[in-house]
Structure 1
Amino acid sequence: MTETVFTYGAPGLKFGSGASAEIGHDLAASGARRVLLVTDPGVAATGHPTRIAEQVAAAGPEVTTYAEARVEPTDESLREAIGFARDTGPFDAIVAVGGGSAIDTAKAVNLLTTNPGELLDYVNPPVGGGRAPSEPLLPLVACPTTTGTGAESTTVCVLDVLEQHVKTGISHPRLRPTSAVVDPELTFSQPAMVTAAAGMDVLCHALESYTARWYADFPAKQPGERVPYCGANPIADLWAEKAMSLLSTAFRTAVHDGSDRDARQQMAMAATFAGLGFGNAGVHVPHANAYPIAGRVRDYRPEGYPDDEAIVPHGMAVSMTAPAAFGFTFEASPERHHRAARLLDPDATGDGPDVLPRVLSTLMRDIGLPSGLAEIGYGESDVDDLVAGTLQQQRLLATAPREPTAEDLAAVFRGSMANW
């Protein structure tokens, strides 16, 4: 028997220039008295977190700031943030100001300051125990400063587990922020490469949710068995299509002219819309591949990111295998792949499996991303290890419209060494 029900969830949303100035009013109205604000050093340097903290305090609540969230969180960095919150709490609410890293750090802090156990107890199997929270979480206000992750809309906290050299996540509906406050004014300080990488995360969120396995093709589940990623469905489709339409007109401009207000606003809206889509439908092969790509990086240091250690930003890691991955998934739904290609590029021609990969590769080249895995330090000798890392991401691969074998994944990685 197949599934007949799909689910949809979303945070409360406040969108527009100046929206971040209203966080204090909203928290005070909710009765919060002690608030933890979570951010990272780079975002803290912009002054936005300090301004927001001052505005919250002026409205009444006492604010404690944790400004040491790590870009691309690890189990170690999350434990440090959790320890800080446990030592300085209790709190009535949490505010995250930053990109997906700060928001995901706040999600982990929220989970582990309200529920028993340790971090790995809650990490998705087979890396962790897959435990579900037993207690309610605090209200979490997510205020993104990057146009990318959609973390303000989702039920997922992504992290690197250092000892296992793998990137994975914690996924549960209770992790979804209570409120998403999206203020495009906060994104103007994004460097070009950050805009490019984060924007590719937005694009892949939309594409992967749009091409995911249809919800009614899954086996039927009991209410308590349903997971946040339920597969492509009519509501998620609307968000994904609109996100792709916005990206088609704004993405290149936002990267090459970061001062263009209209492009920045469209990118912020696209990120939120894509998050509202994939946060319910799910993502699949490109995101599953991205985890080992980011987790096994050796020497790559992209422009616009902290240069004190090697890093492949999440959105960049996702994009590296996207062209080849969508070539692989094409046969599951040719019409959706063609529709997506023409939403992104109305002038795209052809009707074969190479149309969407060609549109993606052209866009990636235009916005200055690396040409493929070889440029960020990987080679043929890494393929087996990358495949092994991807196969650990069964939560994501379950949503793929075609079930990939190890050989299929190896072909995708080999085909992604150079996308042009």
Structure 2
Amino acid sequence: MILTRLAPTACSKALSLLRTIQYTHPPACPCHGAFSHSHCSAGPASSLLEGIRSLGTPTGQQREYAFEMATSSIRFGPGSTREVGMDFSNIRAKKVIIITDKTIERLAPMKTAVSALESAGVKYEIFSDVMVEPKDHSVKQAIEFGKKANGDAYLAVGGGSVMDTAKLVNLFTNFPQAEFLDFVNPPLGKGLPITKALSPLVCIPTTAGTGSETTGTAIFDLVDKKTKTGIAHRMLKPTLGICDPLNTRSMPSAVHASTGLDVLCHSLESYTAIPYSERTPRPTNPLLRPTYQGANPISDIFSFKALQMTVKYLPRAVRDPGDQEAQSQMLLAATLAGVGFGNAGVHLCHGMSYPISGGNKGYKHHGYQVDHPIIPHGVSVAVTAPAVFKFTAASNPERHLAAAEVFGVDISNARAENAGDMLSDVLKEFLYKLGGQPKGIKELGYTSGDIQGLVEGTIPQRRVLMLAPNLDEDLERQKGELTKLFEESLEY
């Protein structure tokens, strides 16, 4: 049979073609209703897909057969910040290290949290030098503070930068002899597993975007490599996330927009990631199962609901920062998306965003009161989204059409081969109407001459690229596909 002689690259292309054929006239899926999923059996096409997939699986690398759901405990409600002192008292914390930034330190969320600790008689010490979009040197500074302060519990009050920094302080104070790159995602770091439980960590988000209060992921800039990387492990996830809608009321419109775009891409990427059952290799020990596993039936529910809420409420929150309902719903959407992507993972938008923000030539996004150049994470992620989802649609047209329908597109007579264009076009329209967003990476200061460097900065992001549907496994062809995606993202 000709298929048995397919090289891995050809196998990958055949898989893409067969998926498109399979979803052009998909049979009803008994476990997902009208939408067929690539992890569901659907007749001869699925059988053929299964056979070809096995041909592309390296010897000794069995595909995954299970998924795990792990998330922090979540408390949601206006005024719930006032309970944090009792939380630390309940676990008999002797000294809490509070991690925050200079802006949040002066605002109501921090004042409420500190007052709660004092009322409960809990001792604390504050580190407020977290850098927005943290860099390796700012993280190391926080870690050194944590080691000297010698606390037995941690409290993060702030956005994703603060929460991620707190996770890393918690990790390295519990592994004081570890080198900084020991736990960092390979190939930039060693990717060592975290082998013991960390100290209690409570996160109080003040932005509605990262969902970091739910996840075991911490991201930072690796300055000398001009890219972002991070550490991902279930042990990193906070003990408790306190999601208090009162804490997001101080966000400027530009911050509502950029953090909300992170929610948008979290939900879209996790919903369209490869199914968990297609990931290889299967771990030899459950401890080695990655936090980012691929789409699964539980993460799908959280991701799709977060997408619906973001499309409905983000424009309202941006237009009117005083719209308390929209603010509250966006905070909830961020948390739901955090549960979804924190277990399913993200893919190309995030992988490509890391060199975009890490290699910033001097762009400073409007509305951010910082004294250094900054491309907010949500901006760097969303700017490639129209090109990315046009590219990934062939892997699962039904899911991409379902996503387009959330934005208001009529898909009743849509053809599978048009799914990518339809979702791409409506994403461009959504970004344009949101206002204040760069219409391509050219507005961030990049030119066609920078694309090769951006590609090279994306290639090491294996943790997320392995979940990207439709991306060729052959490295040279993969570079070509990424080059085209960056070219299409220059301007639109």
TM-score (structure 1 length as normaliser): 0.97
TM superposition shift of 1:316: 0.4
Amino acid across the alignment from 2:482: L
The one-character-per-residue Cα deviations of 1:174-225 (angstroms, maximum 9, x if unpaired) are: 1111111001111111111111111010010000000000011123333233
**Equivalent position of 1:359 in the other structure:** 426
TM superposition shift of 1:346: 5.2
Q: Is the 8 A contact 1:98 1:146 kept in 2?
A: yes
Query: Which of 76, 94, 98 is the aligned partner of 2:158?
Result: 98
C-alpha distance in structure 1 between counterparts of 2:422 and 2:114, whole Å: 47
Amino acid across the alignment from 1:388: E
Decide which moves more: 111-120 or 252-261. Answer: 111-120
Equivalent residue of 2:209, what SS? coil
Query: Which of 311, 324, 333 is the aligned partner of 2:387?
Result: 324
C-alpha distance in structure 2 between counterparts of 1:189 and 1:11, whole Å: 25
Query: Which of 451, 454, 460 is the aligned partner of 1:392?
Result: 460
Query: Which of 295, 312, 329 is the aligned partner of 1:249?
Result: 312
Decide which moves more: 183-192 or 1-10. Answer: 1-10
Query: Which of 283, 287, 290 is the aligned partner of 1:221?
Result: 283
C-alpha distance in structure 2 between counterparts of 1:78 and 1:94, whole Å: 15
TM superposition shift of 1:247: 1.2
Q: Map residues 74-89 of structure 1 onto 2, 5 A cutoff.
A: 74-89=135-150
C-alpha distance in structure 2 between counterparts of 1:397 and 1:342, whole Å: 26
Query: Which of 354, 367, 370 is the aligned partner of 2:438?
Result: 370
Amino acid across the alignment from 2:166: A
C-alpha distance in structure 1 between counterparts of 2:467 and 2:229, whole Å: 16
C-alpha distance in structure 2 between counterparts of 1:348 and 1:382, whole Å: 37
C-alpha distance in structure 2 between counterparts of 1:345 and 1:120, whole Å: 45
Decide which moves more: 341-350 or 67-76. Answer: 341-350
Aligned-residue RMSD, C-alpha: 1.3
TM superposition shift of 1:403: 2.1
Determine whether 1:52 maps to 2:52.
Answer: no
Determine whether 1:411 maps to 2:484.
Answer: yes
TM superposition shift of 1:134: 3.2
Determine whether 1:20 maps to 2:81.
Answer: yes
Decide which moves more: 275-284 or 347-356. Answer: 347-356
Query: Which of 230, 245, 249 is the aligned partner of 2:293?
Result: 230
Query: Which of 196, 200, 205 is the aligned partner of 2:261?
Result: 200
Query: Which of 23, 29, 33 is the aligned partner of 2:90?
Result: 29
Determine whether 1:279 maps to 2:354.
Answer: no
TM superposition shift of 1:55: 1.0
Rg larger for: 2
TM superposition shift of 1:42: 1.5
Equivalent residue of 1:228, what SS? coil
The one-character-per-residue Cα deviations of 1:386-406 (angstroms, maximum 9, x if unpaired) are: 000000101110111122411
Q: Is the 8 A contact 1:244 1:344 kept in 2?
A: no
Q: Is the 8 A contact 1:28 1:61 kept in 2?
A: yes
Equivalent residue of 2:93, what SS? coil
TM superposition shift of 1:248: 2.0
**Equivalent position of 1:69 in the other structure:** 130
C-alpha distance in structure 1 between counterparts of 2:411 and 2:385, whole Å: 17
TM superposition shift of 1:132: 2.1
**Equivalent position of 2:303 in the other structure:** 240
Gaps of 5+ in 2: 1-61, 473-477
C-alpha distance in structure 2 between counterparts of 1:289 and 1:248, whole Å: 23
Equivalent residue of 2:231, what SS? strand
The one-character-per-residue Cα deviations of 1:12-56 (angstroms, maximum 9, x if unpaired) are: 110011111111111111111210110011111223213211211
Amino acid across the alignment from 2:428: S
The alignment-based identity, stated in percent, is 41
Q: Is the 8 A contact 1:97 1:103 kept in 2?
A: yes
C-alpha distance in structure 1 between counterparts of 2:480 and 2:162, whole Å: 36
Equivalent residue of 1:125, what SS? coil
C-alpha distance in structure 2 between counterparts of 1:141 and 1:212, whole Å: 29
C-alpha distance in structure 2 between counterparts of 1:37 and 1:146, whole Å: 17
Amino acid across the alignment from 1:337: H
Amino acid across the alignment from 1:251: L
Equivalent residue of 1:309, what SS? coil
Determine whether 1:310 maps to 2:377.
Answer: no
C-alpha distance in structure 2 between counterparts of 1:347 and 1:25, whole Å: 50
Amino acid across the alignment from 1:374: K
**Equivalent position of 1:209 in the other structure:** 270
The one-character-per-residue Cα deviations of 1:257-298 (angstroms, maximum 9, x if unpaired) are: 010111001100100000000000000000000000000001
Q: Is the 8 A contact 1:348 1:359 kept in 2?
A: no
C-alpha distance in structure 2 between counterparts of 1:20 and 1:273, whole Å: 19
Amino acid across the alignment from 1:141: V
Amino acid across the alignment from 1:238: I
Gaps of 5+ in 1: none
Amino acid across the alignment from 2:135: T
Equivalent residue of 1:36, what SS? strand
Decide which moves more: 396-405 or 61-70. Answer: 396-405
C-alpha distance in structure 1 between counterparts of 2:303 and 2:171, whole Å: 29
Q: Is the 8 A contact 2:390 2:424 kept in 1?
A: yes
TM superposition shift of 1:131: 1.9
C-alpha distance in structure 1 between counterparts of 2:192 and 2:140, whole Å: 17
TM-score (structure 2 length as normaliser): 0.83
